[in-house]
Every structure is written in structure tokens, then in C-alpha cells.
């Protein structure tokens, strides 16, 4: 392991800001992570774990140690109930892992194709797309406490998953490192799969259905679903190598029916998705931001993507502070117009 000083983080996060870590080290195995924890207890300085850097915004240099989690490894066992349990080290690239499963016909993750980042970060905000959330496929998460170095395996229920939320964003925030995630995937190739009575794929998301129809595929195989998701994403989302971004900057707000009814009186076209649990309703944040006139806005190199207003963009040399100021202005105007407080999805440092 190499502990380097004054390391640029520009190429290590997808927003691409020119910021520096006082110390930087890459942990390529679980035991290297544990060694680093002991070292950190000796020197007492701020610590930041980085996966693929696709959900972070740096607003300043980081004055402690940045540890990039790069441990790799995948192992799988078949169950006797039509599933396969796949145990994956935190530093595996998310989309390469999805491809690995699709190649073997193990279903559950194909709708989450092409999401940037690592396996270890996936449970943190319970990544989701095209009608699937990763909580539906997570069996357990192995973590280590950064103060005691004690390891613990959390069951799915103990992760308290919610919409883009989990225990790792709440009570365990900054307290544990995720070392390994175990997924429970369907294996339609096993004879016991027939006993599960489960559909092999989730095809209800409208954009996914339209894409498969445009590909003239009526009965998709798993590889077709991955291909359809990749096609939509490549078309709709900005390439982080062309314009720095961290995907959706804000969460979609979830409101109660009374608030929806009162908003509909003024905004009859307000799109909304009911059945989000406990009688709540999801409102697309992109629509709210668009209605406030932000779509395509640009000030210097900080902007709002012209096709997807949920995505804030660094067109070159924007600072994290400029992106954060823009985010705050957007939040303020949405609050003024709709009385809804947007919540940031991206982790700001
Ligand atoms: P990082 O950005 O490196 O880290 C995110 C947070 O997790 C940080 O606070 C970091 O300290 C912490 N962390 C990272 N690894 C660990 C670990 N092993 N242990 C403890 N803490 C850790 N998200 C979705 O949900 N759905 C999408 O469809 C989606 N699409 C995206 C599209 C684009 C173009 C981009 C840029 C982002 C998108 N995202 C999406 C957001 C992002 O890809 C996910 O949140 C992803 O899981 C982040 O992984 P990462 O490894 O890059 O995490
Ligand atoms: P979209 O399909 O244009 O839909 C806009 C929003 O409406 C989405 O955020 C989605 O919520 C919601 N939605 C659409 N149809 C829905 C339905 N039938 N039921 C419930 N909610 C519905 O969205 P998009 O921007 O192109 O993104 C496509 C998918 O990729 C979405 O699932 C989105 O979450 C995901 N994505 C996430 C990020 C990120 O950084 N978090 C970035 C890019 C794409 P949900 O977001 O809850 O699905």
C-alpha cells in the first residue's frame, strides 16, 4: 500500500473538480482496509471512503485521508430454492458485476445496468432505476466499524432500506465501511426455479417497455433487458467524461395526499406516482425544477442539464462551491413555487 500526499481527486470522482486530498491510499483487499483503520486510530484525522466517486461533490480540498476501496472478488453458491447467493467485494465495479450476472442468466440486477460506481456503495443510497431498487436483491451487508475495527453482517432488514435511503445514510453514516455485499438472485436455469412462482424479470417501467417495443422484442431475454436499459441511459444521461456530474442531484420528493390535492388545485398537470408506502406520493423533482425555469441554465461552467434538469453539470472548471450555490438556488425557487423542500441525493464534502 502506498500512502501518497497532496493527491488530486479530479480523475477519481465523476464531477471532476480540481480538489486535493492531504493523504490518499488505495485499499485493494479487505485486510488492507483493516490495516488502514488501525493506522488511522494512531493519527486521528478525518477519513473519507471513496468508491467510484459518482455520488460525491467536493466543495474544498480534503484535509484528511481519502481511502479508495478497491477490493475485488466474487463468489457464488446455488440454493435449493431457485436462487443463487452471490457474495461480492466492495471494490468491484457495479456495472461489470451486473454484466457478470447477466452473462450467467442470474436475474434481478439487469434493470440497474450502467449505474456508475462500486458494489460497496450500492446499498448506501439503495440504488434504483427502471422500477427496481437494489434492496430487493440484497441478502446481507458485511461492514467494519471504523472505531473498533469489529466486523458485523447486517441482514436486509437491519439495513433499513427506503427510497434512496438506508441505515448507512442515517445511524451508521460515517461509522462503518462496507466490505462485502451478498445478493440473492433468481436463477431461472435451475430446475427448482419453477417452485418459486416468481417472474424472472421486472418489465413494468414505462420507458423500458417502450424501448423493448422499439427493439421489436416481445419476450425479452435477460441480455435484451440490459441492452434496452443501456440504450435509454446512453441516450438520456450526460456522459461524465464529457460533462462532469453525479447523476440526479436531488431525490424525488415524497408527499402526503393532502399536499398533492392542494398542489393540484394550482398545478393540475403535476405528475405524480402514488403507492410509495404509508399513503405517500412521489413527485418527479425534474418536473418541479423544469417548471421553475432551470432546465438548460448555465452560469460559467456550472449548469443544469438541458435534457435532464435533475442533473447538475460541471462543464469544465466549475468549483464544488458553484455547483452547491446553484443547487441551493434551485431548492429555494422550488420551495417558493411549490412549498416543497428538495433533498440532495449527492454526498457533499
Ligand atoms: P462514491 O461516490 O464513491 O461514494 C458515495 C458515498 O458512499 C460517499 O459518502 C462515500 O464516502 C461512501 N462510500 C463509498 N464506498 C463506501 C464503502 N465501501 N463503505 C462505506 N462508505 C462508502 N444512482 C442511482 O441510485 N440510480 C441511478 O440510476 C444512478 N444513475 C447515475 C448516473 C450517473 C451518470 C451518475 C454519475 C450517477 C448515478 N447514480 C445513480 C448515482 C451513483 O452512481 C450511485 O449512488 C453509486 O452507488 C455511487 O457509487 P460510488 O462507488 O461511485 O460511490
Ligand atoms: P423518467 O423515466 O423520465 O421518470 C422520471 C421520474 O419519474 C423518475 O425519477 C421516476 O422515479 C419516476 N417514475 C417514472 N415512471 C414511474 C412509475 N411507473 N412509477 C413510479 N415512478 C416513476 O426518469 P429518468 O430520469 O429517465 O431515469 C430513469 C430511471 O433511472 C429512474 O428510475 C431514475 O431513478 C434512474 N436514474 C437515477 C439517477 C440517479 O442518479 N439517482 C440518474 C439517472 C437515472 P424513480 O427515480 O423513483 O425511478
Sheet order of strands, 151-155 included: 74-78, 83-89, 176-186, 138-145, 151-155
Does residue 225 sit in the same domain as residue 101? yes
Q: What is the pLDDT of residue 31?
A: 92
Out of 69, 96, 120, a domain closes at 69
The CATH code of the domain that includes 30 is: 3.30.43.10
Give the pLDDT mean for 310-330: 97
Is the Cβ–Cβ distance between 131 and 111 less than 8 Å? yes
| 139 a catalytic residue | no
Residue 126 covered by a domain: yes
Does residue 224 sit in the same domain as residue 87? yes
Binning pLDDT at 50, 70 and 90, where does residue 169 land?
A: very high
Q: What is the pLDDT of residue 275?
A: 75
Is the Cβ–Cβ distance between 221 and 214 less than 8 Å? no
CA distance 82 to 107: 11
174 Cα to the center of ligand 1, angstroms: 15
Minimum CA distance residue for ligand 2 atom 22? 273
Out of 41, 69, 97, a domain closes at 69
Binning pLDDT at 50, 70 and 90, where does residue 37 land?
A: confident
The CATH code of the domain that includes 274 is: 3.90.78.10
Q: What is the pLDDT of residue 195?
A: 78
* Main-chain phi, psi angles of 129, to 5 degrees: -170, 150
Helix ranges (H only) for 177-221 are 206-214
Does residue 201 sit in the same domain as residue 289? no
Ligand closest to 112 (CA) is 1
Q: Quick: pLDDT tens for 103-146.
A: 999 999 999 999 999 999 999 999 999 999 999 999 999 999 99
- CA 93 to chain CA mean position, Å: 12
Q: Which domain holds residue 272?
A: 254-348
C-alpha cell read off for 75:
463468489
Residue 235 covered by a domain: no
Proportion of the chain above pLDDT 70, given as a percent:
99
Ligand 1 touching residue 91 (CB < 6 A): no
| 42: pLDDT strictly greater than 60 | no
Does residue 107 sit in the same domain as residue 200? yes
Residue 236 covered by a domain: no
Mean pLDDT over the full length of the chain: 94
Does residue 56 sit in the same domain as residue 119? no
Q: What is the pLDDT of residue 186?
A: 93
Q: What is the pLDDT of residue 103?
A: 97
Give the pLDDT mean for 67-73: 96
Ligand closest to 14 (CA) is 1
Out of 14, 43, 69, a domain closes at 69
Proportion of the chain above pLDDT 90, given as a percent:
84
Ligand 1 atom index nearest CA of 52: 52
The CATH code of the domain that includes 181 is: 3.30.465.10
Does residue 93 sit in the same domain as residue 199? yes
Ligand 1 touching residue 97 (CB < 6 A): no
Does residue 121 sit in the same domain as residue 95? yes
Sort residue 317 into left (φ over 0), alpha (ψ -120 to 50) or beta: alpha
Does residue 84 sit in the same domain as residue 200? yes
How far CA 280 is from CA of 2, 92, 253, 255, 270, in Å, comes to 49, 35, 10, 5, 15
| 64: pLDDT strictly greater than 70 | yes
| 49: pLDDT strictly greater than 60 | yes
Ligand 1 touching residue 86 (CB < 6 A): no
| 75 a catalytic residue | no
269 Cα to the center of ligand 1, angstroms: 32
Residue 214 covered by a domain: no
| 164 a catalytic residue | yes
56 Cα to the center of ligand 1, angstroms: 7
Give the pLDDT mean for 150-176: 96
Residue bearing the bigger pLDDT, 321 or 237: 321
Q: What is the pLDDT of residue 41?
A: 62
Please state the domain count of the chain.
Answer: 3
Ligand closest to 169 (CA) is 1
Residue 210 covered by a domain: no
Ligand 2 touching residue 207 (CB < 6 A): yes
Give the pLDDT mean for 249-278: 91
Q: What is the pLDDT of residue 238?
A: 86
Does residue 265 sit in the same domain as residue 147? no
C-alpha cell read off for 275:
403507492
Give the pLDDT mean for 16-44: 87
| 304: pLDDT strictly greater than 80 | yes
Does residue 310 sit in the same domain as residue 193? no
Does residue 224 sit in the same domain as residue 266? no
Give the pLDDT mean for 251-278: 91
Ligand 1 touching residue 88 (CB < 6 A): no
Residue 16 covered by a domain: yes
Q: What is the pLDDT of residue 43?
A: 66
Lowest mean pLDDT among 135-149, 274-288, 332-346: 274-288
The number of residues in the chain equals 349
Minimum CA distance residue for ligand 1 atom 23? 127
Ligand 1 touching residue 50 (CB < 6 A): yes
Q: Quick: pLDDT tens for 171-224.
A: 999 999 999 999 999 998 888 887 787 888 999 999 999 999 999 999 999 999
CA distance 111 to 220: 13
From the candidates 89, 110, 227, 345, give the one annotated as an active-site residue.
Answer: 345
29 Cα to the center of ligand 1, angstroms: 20
Ligand 2 touching residue 206 (CB < 6 A): yes
Residue 240 covered by a domain: no
Residue 306 covered by a domain: yes
Q: What is the pLDDT of residue 80?
A: 81
Does residue 43 sit in the same domain as residue 101? no
Ligand 1 touching residue 48 (CB < 6 A): yes
From the candidates 70, 164, 226, 227, give the one annotated as an active-site residue.
Answer: 164
Output the CA torsion sign for 55, 61, 64, 67.
positive
Q: What is the pLDDT of residue 210?
A: 97
| 276: pLDDT strictly greater than 80 | no
C-alpha cell read off for 160:
433499513
Amino acid at each position: 500500500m502506498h500512502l501518497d500526499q497532496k493527491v488530486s481527486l479530479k480523475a477519481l470522482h465523476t464531477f471532476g473538480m480540481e480538489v486535493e486530498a492531504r493523504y490518499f491510499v488505495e485499499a485493494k483487499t479487505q485486510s488492507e482496509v483493516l490495516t488502514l483503520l488501525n493506522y488511522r486510530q494512531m493519527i486521528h484525522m478525518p477519513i473519507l471512503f471513496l468508491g467510484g466517486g459518482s455520488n460525491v461533490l467536493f466543495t474544498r480540498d480534503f484535509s484528511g485521508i481519502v481511502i479508495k476501496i478497491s477490493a475485488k472478488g466474487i463468489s457464488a453458491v446455488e440454493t435449493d430454492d431457485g436462487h443463487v447467493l452471490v457474495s461480492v467485494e466492495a471494490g468491484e465495479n457495479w456495472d461489470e458485476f451486473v454484466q457478470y450476472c447477466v452473462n450467467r442468466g442470474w436475474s434481478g440486477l439487469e434493470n440497474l445496468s450502467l449505474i456508475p460506481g462500486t458494489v460497496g456503495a450500492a446499498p448506501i443510497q439503495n440504488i434504483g432505476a427502471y422500477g427496481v431498487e437494489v434492496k430487493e436483491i440484497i441478502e446481507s451487508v458485511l461492514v467494519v466499524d471504523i472505531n473498533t475495527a469489529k466486523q458485523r453482517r447486517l441482514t436486509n432488514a437491519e439495513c433499513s432500506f427506503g427510497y434512496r435511503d438506508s441505515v448507512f445514510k442515517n445511524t451508521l453514516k460515517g461509522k462503518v465501511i462496507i466490505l462485502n455485499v451478498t445478493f440473492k438472485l433468481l436463477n431461472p436455469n435451475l430446475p427448482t426455479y419453477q417452485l418459486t412462482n416468481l417472474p424472472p424479470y421486472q418489465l413494468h417501467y414505462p420507458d423500458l417497455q417502450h424501448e423493448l417495443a422499439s427493439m421489436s422484442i416481445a419476450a425479452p431475454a435477460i441480455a435484451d433487458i440490459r441492452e434496452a436499459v443501456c440504450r435509454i441511459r446512453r441516450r438520456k444521461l450526460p456522459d461524465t467524461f464529457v460533462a462532469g456530474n453525479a447523476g440526479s442531484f436531488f431525490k424525488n420528493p415524497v408527499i402526503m395526499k393532502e399536499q398533492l390535492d392542494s398542489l393540484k388545485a394550482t398545478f393540475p398537470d403535476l405528475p405524480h406516482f402514488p403507492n410509495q408506502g404509508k399513503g405517500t406520493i412521489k413527485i418527479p423533482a425534474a418536473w418541479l425544477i423544469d417548471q421553475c425555469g432551470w432546465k438548460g441554465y448555465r452560469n460559467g461552467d456550472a449548469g443544469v442539464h438541458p435534457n435532464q434538469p435533475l442533473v447538475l453539470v460541471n462543464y469544465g472548471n466549475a468549483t464544488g462551491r458553484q455547483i452547491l450555490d446553484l443547487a441551493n438556488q434551485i431548492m429555494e425557487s422550488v420551495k417558493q413555487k411549490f412549498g416543497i423542500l428538495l433533498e440532495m441525493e449527492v454526498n457533499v464534502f
